[in-house]
Chains A and B, each alone.
Chain A
Amino acid sequence: KNQVEQSPQSLIILEGKNCTLQCNYTVSPFSNLRWYKQDTGRGPVSLTIMTFSENTKSNGRYTATLDADTKQSSLHITASQLSDSASYICVVSANNAGNMLTFGGGTRLMVKP
């Protein structure tokens, strides 16, 4: 069964600090992995996409990594800001017509001043 597990479930950090969110998946065959940010009361918005051949990709203060061998991804947030407070959802796509997107449970991040 395709699964996506995220950790931690929730995280509180001080403004300006860095943090790393983890995503482990068992989706096969792997197509791509996206990180979405969901602000409270809003719909998720894509931050970055990782394909099989990509190891790292940055989007401003967000850096995603992918290890296709261990089936792990991380999202690193540098110099956190209050606006980073949100849920971060890892979504993995399978490369066949018999399956589709598998969502992780999300990590709820709170950045405190």
Chain B
Amino acid sequence: DAGVIQSPRHEVTEMGQEVTLRCKPISGHNSLFWYRQTMMRGLELLIYFNNNVPIDDSGMPEDRFSAKMPNASFSTLKIQPSEPRDSAVYFCASSFFPSRGSRSGTGELFFGEGSRLTVL
């Protein structure tokens, strides 16, 4: 398996522009996570999907952020409009948790290589 695949790896955009980050999870995994990492705040959970359904989006900063998972093999994180404070590395991770809706368990998170976003 190729692992979790994220695109783009790097994105530089201007304030106010729309940004779309993409993620392909590992086949067979039932859970997908979007994280944001900055030097100041470390890794922060933005949103979590289980079986393509958003379970917890309490970490999404504000209405400018939205995430979708139309099927088991694809997810997007969209920022519209983008702001300089959104500059960070955005990681997608997938895992297999044994029971539907469960957010705990021994499931190992497999992270993608991240998308580094710079908003000027």
Give the B-binding residues of A (Cβ under 8 A): 31-32, 34, 36, 41-46, 49, 51, 89, 91, 93-97, 99-101, 103-106
Q: Assess A43 versus B108: contact at CB under 8 Å? Given A89-B43, A100-B103, A105-B42.
A: no
Which residues in A have their C-beta under 8 angstroms from that of B103?
97, 99-101
List 10 additional A-B contacts (Cβ < 8 Å) besides A42-B114, A93-B105, A100-B45.
A36-B109, A43-B91, A44-B91, A44-B109, A44-B111, A95-B104, A97-B101, A99-B103, A100-B104, A103-B42
For B114, give the chain A residue with the smallest CB separation.
Answer: A43
Which residues in A have their C-beta under 8 angstroms from that of B108?
34, 46, 49
Return the contact of B106 from the options A42, A43, A51, A97 (Cβ within 8 A): A51
Bound-state Cα–Cα, A43 to B9, Å: 12
Which residues in B have their C-beta under 8 angstroms from that of A31?
104-106
Q: Binary interface profile of B, 30-44, with partner A (CB < 8 Å = 1, else 0)?
A: 000000000000111
Which residues in B have their C-beta under 8 angstroms from that of A103?
42-45
Bound-state Cα–Cα, A100 to B4, Å: 21
- Chain B: interface residue total (CB-CB under 8 A): 21
Which residues in B have their C-beta under 8 angstroms from that of A99?
103-104
Which residues in A have their C-beta under 8 angstroms from that of B114?
41-43
Q: Does B48 contact A (CB under 8 A)?
A: yes
Which residues in B have their C-beta under 8 angstroms from that of A89?
42-43
Return the contact of A94 from the options B42, B56, B93, B104 (Cβ within 8 A): B104
